[in-house]
Structure 1
Amino acid sequence: MIPLGFRVGDLLPSERCAAGAVLATGWQPDTYDAWRARRAADPLDENFPAVPARRAAAPPDRTEADFAAWTAAADADGWALDDQLVAPGLVALAVPVRDPDGRPVCAISVLAHTSRHSGDELREHALATMEEEALHIADELYGTSKAAAAPPAAPAYADAKPELGPSFLQALARGLAALTALGRQHGGLTLAEAAEASGLSYPSTRRNLLTLSQLGYVEQRGRRFLPSPRVLELGYARLSTLTLADIAQLHLTELAGLVRESASLAVLDGAEVRYVARAATEQITSARITPGTRLPAYATSMGRVLLADLPEADRLEQIQTLRPQALTPHTLTSLDALAAALDRAAEKGYALVEQELEAGLRSLAVPVRDRSGRAVGAVNVALHAGPEPPEHTLDAVLPALRACAARIESDLAVASAGAPVQTG
């Protein structure tokens, strides 16, 4: 099965994807030098786990001359099309989002399988909409149609101290109001604009911004003030304390409400899975599952997708150490059968376990991956087996389950940008 998309944080070779061709139209000579050095050091693209590596005997997908011609065409056309360069069976269309000087700063890319669209069909179907959205994104980034509009006023809390009492630090509230106002307008604000946006007086705004500048949270460029990168510390201080369970809990609750069945997140702990987060509806099993509960990995859907993600040698070694017991008449106890089940889970990207852990229990799971693509956990939906066949559960639940895992992965990628997130 070929995935129709990539995860947040995945790296792709520029010469093998439409977005790379679009962005390369703005490359400087030093960027080309870095690109050549990367190609020379990794001629088979083995350092790009998100895409299939090229065979040693195969010629390069794009020589430098080919890539230069492709980027020149992308610059002239305003779009680029990748027809099965990034992966067999995939076509991709990309358009640039440009800054006010016309330089590409990012790219919008749409993927389709060749069974649905040819390259020309994808361009006819999506190009106009993509170009329109690129203009909207540029407008949001640079405010080209909003330059004359005043930013919305932030609360100044000028009269809050009498109402909230002596414990309320009005000076801190005013400083935050001034800092917040700067983030509402691309390119920063002058003192007068910041005073108007924050609702503070001009002298108060000046004192607050100069103080924030001395603390490193505000930069001054000419007459304009704007937030410095250090303001990210205010958010990352919270992100650094988040665990995988913290990140997943809201998404599990949303999933459980959507499918009206219990949803859980677990990690692999030796030959067992350990539950770290759960959103329960009605209990359908005889045992109450709570965070910290351990279950044998071989008989659970989450255990199988996590075991399936192990390198093949580690997977075989783990299977050899298992001593599976027949928990129900349906439990797989043959090591060969388990190995085949893990192979299927690795191929399909999900595992469905039917009444192997407990009679009447059906469970469907998908992996949750970190920025490197490694499965650090698994999310599942558990439901009563009932009269409906397993195929019904796949159709009804799998899309929502995969969407939940994707949202967790996206949040995990952001939270782990500064430091690893605790998964246990």
Structure 2
Amino acid sequence: MTTRPREVVGPLERGLAVLEAVAAGDGGRRGLGDLARTTGLARSTVDRVATTLTVLGVLRAEGRDLLLAPGAAGLGNAYLDSCGLPALLGPHAAALAELLDEAVSLALPDGDGVRFLAQANRRRAVAIAFRPGDLLPAAGCAPGALFAAGWDEERWAGHPDDAGFRTRAARARERGVAVDDQLIEPGLVSVALPVRDPAGAVVCAVSVVSHTSRRDAGALEALALPPLGDTVAAMEAALATGPDRAVEPDPAAGPGGGVGVGTAGFKEELGSGFLQSLARGLDVLRAFGAVRGPARLTDLARLSGLPRATARRSLLTLCHLGYVREDADGFVPLPRVLALGHARLSALTLPEIATPHLVRLVRSVRESASVAVLDGDDIRYVARVAGSRLLHIDIVVGTRLPAYATSMGRVLLAALPEAERDARLGRLVPEALTPRTLTGAGELRGAVAATAERGFGWVEEELEEGLRSIAVPVRDGAGRVVAALNVALNAGRCSPEESLATLLPQLREASGRISADLAAVGRHAPVPTA
């Protein structure tokens, strides 16, 4: 670490220390007292940092613990968008995984470790669980030997020769290929080649990863090396003719392409409890996502909506902490940005993402709320929070109900291509669950079509007498409907018009928040190829 510059922004430095400590905790969770001990910060300082990061959606509080929130994914996404390697090389990795029927990963050096950027997985019982942002010691994996092949004597002098690592690095330098025979963990084998930029510098490594239940290291090398070499050639050609410097901004970006979150209101509301300089520093870090390659100070200031001097102080702090590097052409984010929870966040499931929003919705409307997915001709509940009223709907996660008679089912059916929707409805033999259940083929097609047109589902005492349900779609980052969100209530509690006026806006707001979180954590998620 270099000498601490006078311009370092203290709140940003302390905020990133807290965020990285939470990310390193078990399951992306850390208690407030534990954070104070781990970071060496005063408990009052940790509390102010926690308040700021929670308001910004980067962390969330659960009792006396802090957890990573999907909003933190925007930081790692900014690095991955800026470096451009997942978008540029990821499709080649996915094609190789499809060809070999094995997992393929992209990784790059990060200090004395190897940071994974992208993973093309295969769907099987013994799965390879690397995620974007995962860090491994260089001595324990094939890419590490490739990267260490270029180390000088000064670098080796400060690194222990763990388990013959230097010998493996020398062999990788001689052969141009590295093999991991169960170094990471028993049963896991891989073969890796370096990927070079047009100047000949190694920018990353591509690995084919398998399990000894399928083939040993020698068999994997014999199988994978020729197509792996072809893939590296294609990747290097892609690097030579890469996209322009400007890239599309993250969908979470603010108006006009800026990424600032508008913190003035938070400062007015919370006063000294809100660390505005921490929020501004995170805005600068997120701004890298709108520029491919080195970014100029003026561009980062404009994108973050900050004065040039303020952005520069944030950048000097980020450089001092090892998240950013200043080059002749501008500022470049470094892989350490991924240590801010990206691996954990990229593994979040739909229920984990949706549940905090369901809790918030239920507190507001006092009725039960759920998220379900389409599973054959049924819906399957994947997340649920019961209402606070004495009389509430009693359904548990995992429950399956016929899609045709539920508001969530009609939302999910309405999102299908018309031909598939008609085929599903045509093969149904609906049962009249109540006197009001729609069972005719024409009636159901009309109800689903009406749902598609108005953008929400409505079922009045069709599933069960006395039960009313309103549902809206939940979308992923590509705009696809992946789930439905509903509120269910006693139909006698108020009129249909009152229910719609009260609940629909809040349902849509909650759905929008869940969808935004899905887009953030899924932007660079591992690619399942089959």
More relative contact order, 1 or 2 (CA 8 Å, 6+ apart): 2
TM-score, structure 2 as length reference: 0.40
- Please give the TM-score of this superposition, normalised by the length of structure 1: 0.50
